[in-house]
Chain A
Amino acid sequence: MERKIRVLVAKPGLDGHDRGAKVIARALRDAGMEVIYTGLRQTPEQIVSAAVQEDVDVVAMSILSGAHNHLFPRVMDLLREKGVDDVLVIGGGVIPDDDIPGLKAAGIAGVFTPGTPTTETIEFIKNNLKRGD
């Protein structure tokens, strides 16, 4: 059977602006992916645990509150603690360019700022999956 790309779309932190997360969830679905959406106010622990149980290929997080420098690396740390090294992790939201190198160094493979077309995110996912058959 054809391998389905499974994506966890998560909103870490406390901000309630989920327009972007929901739009991307729908766009990924329309691109044929299976999207598990977590809802708002997720702790890094909840996100990582869901990613493991759902055995996703991708974790896509969105933050608009400015807490990305704290929360994104924390998710990466927890994934590493659980020995998960084959999940593509990407992030989006209001993220200043200056922060992007630090996030990438922490293991966030792609960072998407406002105005990124959903098609660009979809292509990025398809081209950067860390696992496949």
Chain B
Amino acid sequence: MEESAASSDLVRSGDIRATARLISMVEREDPSRLAALKALHAYVGNAHVVGITGPPGAGKSTLTDKIVSRLREQGRRVAVLAVDPSSPFTGGAILGDRIRMQRHATDDGVFIRSLATRGHLGGLSRAVSEASRVLDAAGYDFVIIETVGVGQSEVDIVRIADTVVLVSVPGLGDDIQAIKAGVMEIGDVFCVNKADKDGAERVVREIRSMLETAVLNGATTRFTPLYEARAALTRLDGGRASGGDRAPGAPSAAEGAAHHLAAAVPGHPNLEIPPVVATVAESGQGIHDLVDEILSHEASLVATGFLRSRREENLAWELGRGAAERVLSALEHDGRKESMSDLARAVLDKKIDYYDALETLERALTRS
């Protein structure tokens, strides 16, 4: 595959057109993309991947625009993948997130790409992770994935991120409920945008109290393993990291880890919750704090070594999903789609039971 080798070389050299085209191939599941992706594999892993998600109308694009500006001030190269839904009726889409970021269009250090969901969210989360790897290999220091987070499938899209920023806003009422329902657990940094609106403080308080409840109940969250890893380091380090009385000299691993400014849960000095940052993206208020939190989360992940475990976990999840896709596709390619309906009919007719049907499929797989 000389063409794909050439394409991957161009991507690595930072060629914008080649990068954009490879992402198009990823989007349309062009099989010939695989050679290029394989060739890029060795160069993936340097970018920090940030997911930004939250309900519609939370101001995510404006927030992303301002985060990009801040990271550029610090000399980082940034890529953005902005995801918008396709119309379920026509398959078309208007991708409007770019409007807010268009002032970065002529900055060579910024790459912005709009992606449509194209009907199936499962395929999209694969496309996003592949596109993210392409941009990583192209040398961007940050890859920001911006998407509406309302359900589990959208959550899967940001699942591949190293740092997830969950955005909320006052005045939407119901979205707090959505967050309560479990999306909450996927955040590393919490942002309450449009903080100049009435009710912003209340949203901050509610998020904190939900996080505290989750931690006290020992819920499985995205952030607790990091805090546990850090607490372990702190113990090793003689407790210097968590207090204000830092020892002179080079920062220890625990100190690096402590940069992520978690707040203690009241009455439980050993339990921590992630930061909740108030921002007004429109005016830029709070953006420095938000970016600092993202960077310190990155530093914590690196210092604790937890970055590797998180990526392992993410990859294992992706592999699982990829495997499931392949199994299904193998069964379907084998002309099994019909036999699956046959099996379903047989189960309904009580000729066989559900487990018999599964075993039949399993046998079909091992045969192939």
Contact = CB atoms under 8 A, between A and B. Distances in A.
Interface of A: 1-4, 6, 25-26, 28-39, 42-43, 45-46, 49-50, 52-55, 82-84
Interface string B81-124: 00000110011111110110011011000011110101000000
Interface string B12-53: 000011001101100111100000000000000000000000
B17 A37 contact: no
Interface in B103-150: 103, 105-106, 111-114, 116, 118
Contact of B105 (A1, A25, A35, A46): A46
A36 B95 contact: yes
Contact of A34 (B16, B99, B102, B116): B116
B102 A31 contact: no
Nearest to B19: A53
A29 B105 contact: no
A75 B21 CA distance: 20
B151 to A, nearest CB: 22
B105 to A, nearest CB: 4
Contact of B20 (A2, A26, A54): A54
Contacts of B16: 52-53
B106 A49 contact: yes
Given A29-B93, A34-B95, A4 B116 contact: yes
Main secondary structure of the interface of B (DSSP, over half): mixed
Contacts of B21: 55
A54 B94 CA distance: 13
9 closest Cβ contacts across the A-B interface? Answer: A29-B92, A55-B20, A39-B99, A46-B105, A49-B105, A1-B28, A32-B92, A55-B24, A1-B29
A82 B17 contact: yes
Given A30-B92, A32-B91, A38-B98, A4 B28 contact: yes
A115 B27 CA distance: 35
Interface string B57-92: 000000000000000000000000000001100111
Given A3-B28, A29-B93, A38 B23 contact: no
B17 A38 contact: no
A6 B87 CA distance: 14
Contact of B114 (A1, A2, A54): A54
Given A34-B114, A50-B102, A54-B20, 11 more contacts: A30-B90, A31-B92, A35-B92, A35-B94, A36-B95, A36-B98, A45-B106, A46-B105, A50-B98, A55-B21, A55-B23
A26 B93 CA distance: 9
Contacts of A30: 87, 90, 92
Contacts of A26: 94
B14 to A, nearest CB: 13
A37 B23 CA distance: 19
Contacts of B28: 1-4
A72 B215 CA distance: 58
Contacts of A28: 92
B92 to A, nearest CB: 4
Contacts of B29: 1
A6 B111 CA distance: 17
A36 B23 CA distance: 16
Interface in B289-341: none
Nearest to A29: B92
A94 B134 CA distance: 42
A37 B99 contact: yes
Contacts of A84: 17
Nearest to A39: B99
Contacts of A43: 106
